[in-house]
A and B are shown apart, each in its own frame.
Chain A
Amino acid sequence: MRPLLITAATATSCLGRGLEAHRAALASGACGLAPCRFESADLETWVGEIAGVDETRMPRALAAFDCRNNRAAEAGLVQDGFEDAVRAAAARWGSRRVGVFLGTSTAGILQTELAYRRRDPRSGALPADFDYRRTHNAFSVAEYVRERLALAGPCAAISTACSSSAKAFASAARFLSIGAIDAALVGGVDTLCLTTLYGFGSLDLLSRAPCRPYDAERDGISIGEAAAFFLLERGDDASANADRIALLGVGESSDAWHMSAPHPEGRGALIAMQAALRAAALEPDAIDYINLHGTGTRSNDAAEDRAVSALFGGRVPCNSTKGMTGHALGAAGAIEAALALLAVRDGLVPPGVGTRRLDPEVRARYEIAGARRRVDRVLSNSFGFGGSNCSLVIGRAGARA
């Protein structure tokens, strides 16, 4: 595929608000996780909360969308000049030529969880203020962003569990590549809720401490939350764009194996990474850093390591940033795309925070310490329930491999 320029970007997570906060966190190896005090959750685990997200004020005209998930979206849209960049693109191309593709796993289901505590004791009805369409439904965050920025092009929520927002890039890339649109607002928003906390608890996949990806003693995930947005456009003058950061490739696959466990050999993961390299027309050794899915569960990390080492041997530096951000589920692909962008822009390999003693079984070149060095191309992995896999290649549009 032709590189698609990332002409604006912003990130919000437990590491902070905006790209600069994330750059500083990457440089210092910060951990945004804390013991879970979310809502009424009674679970021994750590989470990565966006500080102060509940204080975000929604525009009055869109008050019906008010919920934690859309507040996180709103918080994200107004920083890093993102809103202005999108409005300028809509003015340049026409609002119908700007598509919206947002990944989310649970959208605003927290609102429904809370509403179920306020059912009418006699009829069982939900409270009158409950707005299913604008909070609970998977589309709510995409619809919110589209209305908030007065966009009028194609729009969809992509919901494939933990690969959702990586796959949002895949959808957007297709629409852009075939010329159906001229710009795409891409990203993901997923926020804490009881369904995922208790759900991962039921699978015994919640770490009791900050998660330790690829560690010999890893014991599960730390759930995080995030909102990250990107503006993608075709760059029509390749030579002028050589140094700009772009989406270079996307690869997708299905495990066709199990609903909640990865294929033990990482079959689907391998297919997705190979497809992403092929789309970017790159050999494996052209990748400077791999941002692993690296959730910190026994099975995910083992399967991913098999796939990564099969393709890259022990040559390409890799690690997981989920020890910093937690696992932002449907927003993981987007927040990690933002970290990939920062790695390229600022020349830094993020540290593998949380990992103390690397699992001796690991064959990939897992680097616990970060480094300052030139990074031209990053491969970022996102895998989800249902065996849904997506890999992105983000890097300089014109750098020679």
Chain B
Amino acid sequence: MKLAARIEGVGLVGPGLAGWSASREVLAGRAPYSRTAAEVPAPQGLPATERRRAGIAVKLALAAGLEAASAARRDPATLAAVFASSSGDGENCHAICEALASDDRQISPTRFHNSVHNAPAGYWGIATGATASTDCVAAFDASFGAGLLEALARIADNPALPVVLVAYDAPYPEPLRSARPVPDPFAMAMVLAADDGTGPALAVSMSDAAPDAMPDAALERLRREIPAARALPLLACLARGAAETATLEYLEGLALQVEVRP
């Protein structure tokens, strides 16, 4: 079976990818890609206290999600949200584990509430006032695929409620970095709504096919290194604006075939 949705807006933050508009030509293969350090914008819409407390995962997720909502001309308060990430805030996790291994196990309340996988969803609600459901899924390297399916299942179940899908990953510091080497922060977001026949739109089905690689070697390395960047072949289709099919990596032995309609 196919799960379909209209793509109303896209957001993107990553190394050498500063926003969706600025990245389209690169992803379409019409301009060279240069992997410069990711610039993660300061979070918008949060009260001063929460802004101070927000870690990198929160900043990433808010930046991409708000960019997509703005491109879709949607008030984010009117959207359901699906957040997908392999690991959440690596710096915060490291700080907690280090404290717990020391003689003084005190961890701060902020560290603790920032440690939950749904921290970006919590800050998203505070920033936007959205009271609809926020889902937070994790599936290791398959996290983007899990988030995409979750968002599409939401729309199929309730076509009246558009969904913003936000996939993000942030690096761990050492020593966890060696165990889970995510080298750079990356986030992408899409506002998805019921397919009304207009484009751009996507239709997703499960597939045995091998996942697509990115033609550019540096973008392919990015795709393989960061779970949320498994979305890149889909973003490349959207950037090219042509009717194409992309096969995205999901679970081992199970890929997602995405038909894109411009």
Q: What per-residue 1/0 map shows which CB atoms of B240-262 lie under 8 Å from chain A? A: 00000000000101100000000
A156 touching B146 in the complex, CB below 8 Å, given contacts A116-B100, A137-B138, A253-B131: yes
Q: What per-residue 1/0 map shows which CB atoms of B133-153 lie under 8 Å from chain A? A: 111111110110010011001
Q: Is A222 an interface residue (CB 8 A)?
A: no
Residue of B nearest to A252 (CB): B133
Which residues does chain A contribute within 8 Å of B180, judged by CB atoms?
132-133, 137
Partner of A158 from B108, B123, B135, B254 at Cβ < 8 Å: B135
B251–A155 touching, CB < 8 Å: yes
B115–A199 touching, CB < 8 Å: yes
Rounded to whole Å, the gap between the CB of A111 and the closest CB of chain B is: 10
Q: What per-residue 1/0 map shows which CB atoms of A150-183 lie under 8 Å from chain B? A: 0011111111110000010011001101111000
A259–B140 touching, CB < 8 Å: no
Rounded to whole Å, the gap between the CB of A90 and the closest CB of chain B is: 15
Which residues does chain B contribute within 8 Å of A175, judged by CB atoms?
149, 153
- Contact residues of B between 121 and 175, Cβ < 8 Å to A: 121-123, 125-126, 128-140, 142-143, 146, 149-150, 153-154, 156-157, 174-175
Top-5 shortest CB links A-B: A386-B122, A199-B112, A159-B117, A252-B133, A256-B125
Q: Is B178 an interface residue (CB 8 A)?
A: yes
Question: Quick check: which of A80-88, A138-146, A294-302, A331-339 contacts chain B, the rest being far away?
Answer: A138-146
B253–A159 touching, CB < 8 Å: no
Partner of B136 from A116, A160, A174, A178 at Cβ < 8 Å: A160
B122–A387 touching, CB < 8 Å: yes
Q: Is B106 an interface residue (CB 8 A)?
A: yes
Residue of A nearest to B143 (CB): A139
Q: What per-residue 1/0 map shows which CB atoms of A196-218 lie under 8 Å from chain B? A: 00111011000000000000000
Q: Is A93 an interface residue (CB 8 A)?
A: no
C-alpha gap A120/B185 in the complex (Å): 27
Which residues does chain A contribute within 8 Å of B175, judged by CB atoms?
119, 124-126
C-alpha gap A96/B100 in the complex (Å): 41
Which residues does chain B contribute within 8 Å of A138, judged by CB atoms?
86-88, 117, 138
Which interface class (under 10, 10 to 19, 20 to 34, 35 or more) fits A? 35 or more
B101–A388 touching, CB < 8 Å: no
Rounded to whole Å, the gap between the CB of B97 and the closest CB of chain A is: 4
B179–A386 touching, CB < 8 Å: no
Interface residues in chain A, defined as those with a beta carbon under 8 Å from any beta carbon in chain B? 42, 96, 105, 109, 112-113, 116-117, 119, 124-126, 130, 132-133, 136-139, 142-143, 152-161, 167, 170-171, 174-175, 177-180, 194-195, 198-200, 202-203, 252-260, 267-268, 271, 384-388
Residue of A nearest to B53 (CB): A259
C-alpha gap A65/B105 in the complex (Å): 27
Q: Which of B87, B112, B128 has the most CB of A within 10 A?
A: B112
Partner of A259 from B98, B113, B130, B154 at Cβ < 8 Å: B113
Q: Is B71 an interface residue (CB 8 A)?
A: no
Kindly list 6 other residue pairs between chains A and B, CB separation below 8 angstroms, not including A137-B138, A178-B3, A194-B105. A105-B116, A174-B150, A174-B157, A256-B130, A385-B116, A388-B136
* 25 A-B pairs with C-beta separation under 8 A: A105-B116, A113-B101, A116-B97, A116-B100, A117-B101, A133-B140, A137-B180, A138-B86, A138-B138, A152-B253, A154-B149, A156-B150, A158-B137, A159-B116, A174-B156, A177-B157, A195-B107, A200-B112, A254-B130, A255-B131, A259-B123, A384-B116, A384-B118, A386-B118, A387-B122
Partner of A155 from B126, B134, B135, B139 at Cβ < 8 Å: B139
Which residues does chain A contribute within 8 Å of B150, judged by CB atoms?
156, 171, 174
Q: Is B206 an interface residue (CB 8 A)?
A: yes
Partner of B139 from A109, A139, A268, A388 at Cβ < 8 Å: A139
B254–A96 touching, CB < 8 Å: yes
Q: Which of A119, A202, A255 has the most CB of B within 10 A?
A: A202
Q: Which of B98, B101, B106, B137 has the most CB of A within 10 A?
A: B137
Rounded to whole Å, the gap between the CB of A148 and the closest CB of chain B is: 15
Q: Is B176 an interface residue (CB 8 A)?
A: yes
Which interface class (under 10, 10 to 19, 20 to 34, 35 or more) fits B? 35 or more
Which residues does chain B contribute within 8 Å of A154, judged by CB atoms?
146, 149, 206, 251, 254
A139–B115 touching, CB < 8 Å: no
Partner of A160 from B105, B121, B157 at Cβ < 8 Å: B121
A385 touching B118 in the complex, CB below 8 Å, given contacts A143-B140, A198-B106, A268-B131: yes
Which residues does chain A contribute within 8 Å of B126, judged by CB atoms?
256-259, 387
Which residues does chain B contribute within 8 Å of A157, judged by CB atoms?
137-139
- Contact residues of B between 72 and 118, Cβ < 8 Å to A: 86-88, 93, 96-101, 105-109, 111-118
Which residues does chain B contribute within 8 Å of A116, judged by CB atoms?
97-98, 100-101
Q: Is B1 an interface residue (CB 8 A)?
A: yes
Which residues does chain B contribute within 8 Å of A385, judged by CB atoms?
113, 116, 118-119, 122
Partner of B122 from A152, A267, A388 at Cβ < 8 Å: A388
C-alpha gap A138/B157 in the complex (Å): 26
Which residues does chain A contribute within 8 Å of B119, judged by CB atoms?
259, 385-386
Which residues does chain A contribute within 8 Å of B96, judged by CB atoms?
195, 199
A388–B153 touching, CB < 8 Å: no
Partner of B179 from A130, A195, A267 at Cβ < 8 Å: A130
B121–A388 touching, CB < 8 Å: yes
A174 touching B100 in the complex, CB below 8 Å, given contacts A96-B206, A160-B136, A267-B131: no
